[in-house]
Amino acid sequence: MTLINLPRGGSERHWARALLVVLASLTLAATFSAPAGAVPSYARQTGSECAACHVGSFGPQLTPYGIAFKVGGYTDTDGQGTKVPLSAMAVANWTHTAKNLPEAPEHFSDNNNAALQEASLFLAGRLTEHVGSFVQATYSGVDRKTFLDQLDVRYARTLAIGEQQGVVGLSINNNPTLTDPFNTLAQWRFPYTASDFGFGTGPAPLVESLGGSVIGVNAYTLWASNFYAEVGAYRALSSGSVNWMNTGQVATQTVDPGKFSGVGTYWRLAYYKDMKRDNFNVGVFGFNAGVQSAEDPSSTDRYQDIGIDASYQFLGTREHIFTANASYVWERQKLDYSHDVLGAADNAKDRLNTFRLATSYTYEQTWGATLGLFNSRGTADSGLYGSVSYNDRPNTAGYILQADWTPWGKEGSWGAPWANARVGLQYTGYTRYNGGSHYIDDVNGSDRKASDNNTTMLFIWLAI
């Protein structure tokens, strides 16, 4: 069950509260849902325009050029002197939901909220010949907190064995999917920004729920330009560390932050082919971890995540760009702690399957349209979901439509590479929420339709 994507308002917040009790062992720490990926310091470093690395002239959807830059450890440069690896980013939005939120978030209303959702500072770029960074500190204007958002510090170099050569690297990071070079896994997939006043995209597997609450070391390679492989080991941060970085909404004295039994293991294999005109990737990935209560490590909830993913980009001359990104993740949960000890889960074993798809079209690297689909299905478990679901299932499904305009970021653009902006309109529609077309609003003790959560967001995203 995800915590990283939990919204700040609405009935899901109460669902989250219930789950924080039920899944105390899983509450390693929650992070804020934050986009990450508009980093003009990389453009200044490479001498390339944003459009070289990103579809639509704005992060985070990577082109093959951007993939090579990331795999290369963020160190590539145009050789024109040392550049300061600093960038800043801000996202402001206005959000309307079809029916008022079950309760107004602190400092805001129960509908039609405008907010500076986040303002971020990046340490992003080449530090030495072989070491580069992507580190993001963020102020959330909704939660009124500043926290360490993303951390990825890499060492990378080319390696030749006989006739073959590739890039090999190491990463220290705080999120299992942050390191991935494709836009199919949790951290980097559509939607690239979402409102904190919205209702999310449903429950997510553990591998997608750990941002900011773990620290890991990964080894990776992109070999012969085609084969991507990565393995990583993660430890949960202590509650003291989480509090120090202020990443945990739940890292308080009243909530058990949880910890891993041993290490969480992440693995990833993908075949990637860049034909210049177009490119694709097909891959598999997985994450395994045992999660214990920090205060009562007598037993463990075990999570096994296995996923498949695929992506395709038609880039052509960059006048008309089409992309498609998809993933499917199977999660097996063995809830020895939550079921046997806590008695909160009805079942000793549960499953959660999630499907995500996004297709986009971009014209002249400026005008973009994206359709996203999300679908999460899980085992019926009245202990876990009964308070918010009529059928005891967490099933949530819907679609996201987005239209956006990115005026700059191309070669010769005004203010390049400093001025970068995206303005967009995003609509999220729900066909199922917490099990069906209706669910239980446990804040008000009333029925609520899934479509009541339909969310319209107007946003402006700036980066410098």
Partner 1 sequence: MNRNRFAIITALIAGGLILAAGRQALAGGDARRGADVFAEECGDCHSKIPGRSKKGPTLTSVVGRKAGSVADFSGYSEAMKDSGIVWTVEKIDAYIAAPRKVVPGGKMKYDGLADAAARADVIAYVMTLQ
Region of residue 176 (phi > 0: left; psi between -120 and 50: alpha; otherwise: beta): alpha
Q: How far is the CB of 187 from partner 1 (least distance, A)?
A: 24
Does 247 engage in binding with partner 1 (CB under 8 A)?
Answer: no
Shortest CB 411 distance to partner 1, Å: 6
Token couple for 185? 């896994």
Query: Which x/- pattern, by CB under 8 A, does the window 315-334 give for partner 1?
Result: xxxxx---------------
HSE at residue 452, side-chain half, CA atoms within 13 A, is 21
Residue corresponding to tokens 């069950």: 1
In this chain, which of 106, 129, 411, 447 binds partner 1, going by CB under 8 A? 411
One residue of 128, 253, 254, 412 binding partner 1 per CB under 8 A = 412
Q: Residue 44 or residue 268: which is nearer to partner 1 going by CB?
A: 44
Residues 47-66 that bind partner 1 (CB under 8 A): 47-49, 52, 63, 65
46 in contact with partner 1 (CB under 8 A): yes
C-beta closer to partner 1: residue 224 or 403 = 224
The answer to whether the CB of 31 falls within 8 A of the CB of 213 is yes
Q: How far is CA 27 from the centre of its chain?
A: 17
Nearest alpha-carbon partner for 300 in 259, 350, 329: 259
Name which of 162 and 412 has its Cβ closer to partner 1.
Answer: 412
Number of residues that bind partner 1 (CB under 8 A): 23
Which residue stretch of 238-246, 314-322, 325-333, 376-384 sits at the interface with partner 1 (rule: CB under 8 A)?
Answer: 314-322
Count other C-beta atoms under 10 Å from residue 46's C-beta. 24
Residues within window 159-178 making contact with partner 1, judged by CB under 8 A: none
Q: Would you count residue 78 as binding partner 1 (CB under 8 A)? A: yes
Q: Residue 156 is encoded by which pair of tokens?
A: 């990378």
Site membership for partner 1, residue 407 (CB under 8 A): no
Q: Which structure tokens are listed for 248?
A: 């945990």
Should residue 273 be labelled a site residue for partner 1 when binding is judged by CB under 8 A?
no
Task: Please state the closest distance from residue 182 (CB atom) to partner 1, in A.
Answer: 18
Residue 46 CB, shortest distance to partner 1, in Å, is 6
CB of 43 to partner 1, least distance (A): 10
361 neighbors 320 (Cβ within 8 angstroms): yes
**Binding status of residue 387 toward partner 1 by CB under 8 A:** no
Hey, what are 68's tokens?
């090579």
Nearer to partner 1, 68 or 121 (CB): 68
Interface residue with partner 1 among 76, 118, 196, 381 (CB under 8 A) is: 76
* Residue 124 parent element (H or E): strand 113-126
225 binds partner 1 (CB under 8 A): yes
253 by Cβ neighbours in 10 Å (0-12 / 13-18 / 19+) ranks as: exposed
> Rounded CA gap, 19 and 30, in Å?
12
**Among 99, 90, 2, which Cα is nearest to 455's?**
99
> What is the number of alpha carbons within 13 Å of residue 332 lying toward its C-beta?
5
Note the residues at the interface with partner 1 (CB under 8 A): 46-49, 52, 63, 65, 68, 76-80, 225, 276-277, 315-319, 411-412
